[in-house]
Structure 1
Amino acid sequence: MKITFLGAAKTVTGSCCLLETGDVKFLVDCGLFQGRSKEDALNQEPFPFNPSEIDFILLTHSHIDHSGRIPKIYNDGFRGEVIATKATADLCSIMLPDCGHIQEFENEWLNRKRERAGRPPVEPLYTHQDALDSMSLFRSEEYDEIIELNCGIRFRFNDAGHILGSSIIEVWFTEEGRDSKIVFSGDLGNRDIPILRDPSIIEEADYLVIESTYGNRLHVDNKNKVERFVDIINDTVKKGGNVVIPSFAVGRTQEIIYDLRKKRDDYNSKIESLMNVPVFIDSPLAISATEIFRKNLDCYDSEARAYIENGENPLDFPGLQFTKTPDESRALNERKESSIIISASGMCEAGRIKHHLKHNLWRPESTILFVGYQAMGTLGRRLVDGANKVKIFGEDITVNARIEMIDGFSGHADRDGLVNWIGGFRKKKPRKIFIVHGEERVMDEFSELIEKQFNIDTVIPDKGESFTINSSEFIKSVREGTSTYQFKRLAVIDILETLKEEFDELADILKSDLKQGKSDTEVDMLYERLKNLGKMMIDVL
């Protein structure tokens, strides 16, 4: 079998693997790239294969960085099945059309800008209707059942514990009379995530493709996350501010609701005061997702089921309110009283969250509380990394608000969680482990840890790199023809984006220094250097 890594290779988003045998071509995931201009450009790139020749897609879960290009590949001619768990298909039925709506909205804004510049309009990546149409391809399968396809491929979905319906996928294939097995971890969840079961243990594999989002660090807040969460909220409310929580509409939002409800008896007066603060779920998608959570009880752990069997609703508590319309959302920023606003998107790249940030980032009494991973290049990442100023809707906003991050709410296993899961391969250790879905520095450290602890060779594939895998003892990189996958132009865009950020930071430093009076000599030196740099840039252009 030949495996080609077309996404989440030395980056976190855009998960997509192409697998080919003599009889079949299929994908594992078909996700959207998220982040800066380089990532947007990646989404616009044609698929480096003929979509009409893809037989099917195995989907690990519904998050957009794993499913978000399914409508695009549908538009480009793919008509095979998208095979997923029922809960994943249910969530995709709301998440993909929502993503299509965002594509249309942002494309409309871009075309207005292009029109003013005298440039022709461009089409969105896909529309709301395209996403709805692509749902006709979905087919649901249960956890823990081995499904045999006509092409000689067998697979099984196992609970990944990351989000409702998320899967670890085992794939068996036969070549030259020998069976081999490759396992895709998908995104692995933390143990003891609210509502969800712990990730399934897989005991044997020939090859493993594993995520590495938190491959070099621990979730230090795991044990005390709710107490810290409550303390941050109470401190903010005492100052008269709002707590704005950028949260993925599917997954983290429902888990926060559940955890607050479950722990309210443990913290007595702290939780009691918290229950007097209105909590607004400001995302139509989160409302629909919460309903899907309520309809897929088979994915719940025993504790959450016990709540339901006792007649209680684990996704509700006093003071919880859902805002559906844009008017209701805007009204939240006109309130004088403190409130908790949970709003998508979790990385602050689109949606209503940007309006709430615009109205709260400049307020020293407010808090922006992050509860999930923030990808490089996103607005959320810039805030977590300590940006003093950010641009939202073309306006410079000074960051005076308190910025907090609680890793314990993350849906991703941390370093020890990933290592412990790999340790579950007791019957047969993988010959090779492919490391994906992480930042390069994280992948390097995680790779060293795996090789040291398990004595298993690891591979960190480049985007577009292919490998031949089979039941023999070796793995061979296939280099022929990979130049079409190298995306060299996108590397140039990445450098330009980095330079732009550095120039913006330098401008902010100089503006703040105007009244402090650097020496004329220092300013003259900087002026000459920038003049020379300007000449070099003009030569490049």
Structure 2
Amino acid sequence: MNYPEILHHGARDGVTGSCHQLNMNAQNSLLIDCGLFQGAEISAQGQSGADRLNIEFPLDGIRALVATHVHIDHVGRIPYLLAAGFKGPILCSEPSAKLLPIVLEDAFKLGFCRDQKLAERYIKVIEQRIIALPYKTWFSLIDQPDLSCRIRLQRAGHILGSAYVEIDLRYPRTGAKQLIVFSGDLGAPHAPLLPAPKSPYRADTLVIESTYGDRLHEDRRSRRQRLEAVIEQALEDEGSVLIPAFSIGRTQELLYELEDIIHRKTAGRSCASSEELQGLAGAPTDWPQLPIILDSPLASRFTAAYRQLQPFWNQEALRRVQAGRRPLEFQQLITVDSHHDHLRMVQHLARTARPAIVIAGNGMCSSGRIVNYLKAMLGDSRHNVLFVGYQAKGTPGNAIQRYGPQGGYIVLEGERRTIRAGVSSLGGYSAHADQRGLINFITRMREWPSQIRLVHGEAEAKRQLADALRQRYALTNRPVAIFSE
């Protein structure tokens, strides 16, 4: 067998369940991510349902797990990996080292046991396994007579702490060497809070995501204005705007942009008091008085962690902080923590249709508190649902997005709900690079990879990205082998 060899245990034919194994030689391998499958997607072995949680590959020789970032479709199966007997370290960036225990505690409670003491013991084990790597710094994983492996993380611009992985392999006995790059999820330019990713100098083999390999995003620089316009249009219906959002990344971006809208609208004007906001008393007439309701304890924990990780923010965000602004904890922001308060909020907004913006998890409406809001409010034409993220096939979010504008229905937790609420989708909010961004990531390298493996994308996205890449390579007479598993 020729080494190195790459095996894909997830995100091969879809956009969730990322898990890739780099076999460096017969005795040593490296795992890149270990995420959950979501929606209608299946595992590499064709299993679906509860079976997708299982670790379906042998762990012999896996020396470490590298977590590119902490989204659940990249790290959600780590509890099952440990339960299957994985004993190695978990390598990740410094911000991810702070965020990962929060994600995995939640995953442990949902998938294994809700006992807090057991969860805390489990998290201590996780924290002992984590090795936090600074960006731009080589880490030596293996240094043997027949194999040397160094790893370096670089900013990926997807969410806070996200990284792409450079793996420098050398085989001293033969003199062979190979530089392999795993992109993880790459971010798009002009993202709030995060610096844009910069391409590596070179790569021999590149494993790259292709989520939006078949399209170009709307102009991200104008997305705040479009967000404002869509919400104002929705509020003319005199109801609430429901925004499904994942707890980490998208939620913080939305808060950051909403704070900026309110800041601009509030110039020279007074806001409602915090007591009025907390009581939701009186109908707000403008943005400075509009309640922004964050109904997700997990998102609140992540938002607090984001605030503690300010050194990793981009320069624009830091300038706002230096100017005395609080991008992630502004006055109009109301956080809902307890389940009791959550149910009260759902009942209040469903009954009164008070204008408000509700951000609740999860982002694809497959679980979480957003489901209760949808069950209570989808049938009321005064309310609106605003999607700002990708909705995977088979998820309730995808069904609402698809059938809502047609006046269709959806089944939520076994109950049929007619969709009378308005349904909108706002482009330009993807945390993933589009086709142009993905191609730029490759063509801005000094030495382009001669082998490219497309993962983390649906068939058409991979096909169109592969075609576009072949054209770019042909224009410069560079050879390339492109595989879309």
Pair 1:305 & 2:326 matched? no
Shift of residue 226 of structure 1?
Answer: 1.7
Seen in structure 2, the aligned counterparts of structure 1 residues 460 and 348 have a Cα distance that, compared at 3 Å, is: farther
Alignment of 1:187-226 (within 5 A): 187-226=185-224
Encode CA deviations 1:14-58: one digit per residue, 9 max, x unaligned: 111111123421101111111138443452344221x25321011
The answer for the alignment partner of 1:257 in structure 2 is: 255
Of the candidates 377, 380, 399, which is equivalent to residue 382 of structure 1?
Answer: 399
Gaps (5+ residues) in structure 2?
43-47, 272-284
For 1:33, the equivalent position in structure 2 comes to 37
Give the letter for the 1:390 counterpart.
Answer: I
Structure 2 match to 1:7: 10
- C-alpha separation between the residues in 1 aligned to 2:141 and 2:339? 46
- Residue pair 2:53, 2:77 contacting (<8 A) in 1 also: no
Q: Percent identity?
A: 33
SS in 2 for 1:244: strand
Partner of 1:58: 66
**Residue 278 of structure 2 corresponds to which residue in structure 1?**
none
Letter of the 2:39 partner, please give it.
Answer: G
Q: Is 1:104–1:128's contact at 8 Å kept on the other side of the alignment?
A: no
The code of the aligned residue for 1:44 comes to L
1:453 equivalenced with 2:476 (yes/no): no
CA distance in 2, matches of 1:132, 1:217: 42
In the alignment, the residues of structure 1 paired with residue 252 and residue 340 of structure 2 have an alpha-carbon distance, to the nearest angstrom, of 23
Equivalent-residue separation in structure 2 for 1:267 and 1:211 (angstroms): 38
Cα offset for 1:292? 0.8
> TM-score, normalising length from structure 2?
0.86
Q: Does structure 1 residue 21 correspond to structure 2 residue 1?
A: no
* Residues 173-322 of structure 1 mapped to structure 2, 5 A cutoff: 173-175=169-171, 176-266=174-264, 273-322=286-335
Deviation at 1:133, TM superposition (A): 3.7
Structure 1 residues 228-252: Cα deviation after superposition (integer angstroms, max 9, x where no partner): 2222222222322110000011011
Match of 2:459 in 1: 440
1:342-357 to 2 correspondence within 5 Å? 342-357=359-374
Query: Residue type matched to 1:224 in 2?
Result: S
Task: Say which SS state the counterpart of residue 98 (structure 2) adopts.
Answer: helix
> Given residue 57 of structure 2, which amino acid in structure 1 is its aligned partner?
P
Alpha-carbon distance change, 264 to 277 in structure 1, aligned in 2, over 3 angstroms: closer
Q: 1:66-110 deviations in whole A, cap 9, x for unaligned?
A: 1111111101101100000121121111111112223258x9xxx
Deviation of 1:267 (Å): 5.8
Tell me by how many angstroms 1:173 deviates. Answer: 0.3
Task: Name the aligned partner's letter for residue 196 of structure 2.
Answer: D
Listed one character per residue, the Cα deviations across residues 315-366 of structure 1 (whole Å, up to 9, x for unaligned) are 1222111100001111112222221110111111111111111112111111
- Partner AA of 1:297 in structure 2: Q
AA in 1 matched with 2:327: P
Distance 1:131 1:86 in 2: 17
Question: Are 1:70 and 1:134, in contact at CA under 8 Å, matched by a contact in 2?
Answer: no
Structure having the higher Rg:
1
Report deviation, 1:367.
0.9
Deviations 1:114-169 (A, max 9, x none): xxxxxxxxxxxx98865664343111010011112234211111000000000011
- Of 444-453 and 235-244, deviating more is 235-244
**2-side partners of 1:127 and 1:13: how far apart?**
25
> Take 2:60 and 2:361, find their aligned partners in 1: how far apart are those partners?
34
Contact map agreement 2:244 2:359 (CA 8 A) in 1? yes
Q: 1:98 and 2:90 equivalent? A: no
Q: Find the counterpart in structure 2 of residue 416 from structure 1.
A: 436
Q: Is the 8 A contact 2:385 2:422 kept in 1?
A: yes
Equivalent position amino acid for 2:35 in 1: G
Q: Does 1:430 align with 2:422?
A: no
**Is the Cα–Cα contact under 8 Å of residues 57 and 83 in structure 1 kept in the other structure?**
yes
Which one-letter code corresponds to 1:452 in the other structure? Q
* Alignment correspondent of 1:157: 153
Unaligned runs of 5+ in 1: 108-125, 463-541
Q: Is contact 2:409-2:419 (8 Å) kept?
A: yes
AA of the residue aligned to 1:55: R
Say which SS state the counterpart of residue 108 (structure 2) adopts: helix
Query: Quick one: which amino acid aligns to residue 380 of structure 2?
Result: R
Give the Cα separation in 1 of the matches to 2:442 and 2:482: 15
Q: Secondary structure at the match of 1:412?
A: coil
Specify the SS of the correspondent of 2:403. coil
Counterpart of 2:129?
Answer: 137
Please, which moves more after superposition, 94-103 or 164-173?
A: 94-103
Assess if the C-alpha contact under 8 Å between 1:258 and 1:316 holds in 2: no
May I ask how many residue pairs the two structures share in their alignment? 441
Question: What amino acid does structure 1 have at the position aligned with 2:135?
Answer: Y
Distance in 1 (alpha carbons) for counterparts of 2:304 and 2:482 = 40
Cα RMSD of the aligned pairs, angstroms, is 2.3
- The residue type paired with residue 61 of structure 2 is E
Alpha-carbon offset, residue 288 of structure 1: 0.6
Q: Measure the CA separation in 2 of the matches of 1:304 and 1:458.
A: 40
User: Which of 145, 167, 172 pairs up with 1:171?
Assistant: 167
What is residue 89 of structure 2 aligned with on the other side?
81
CA contact (8 A) 2:101 2:126 kept: no
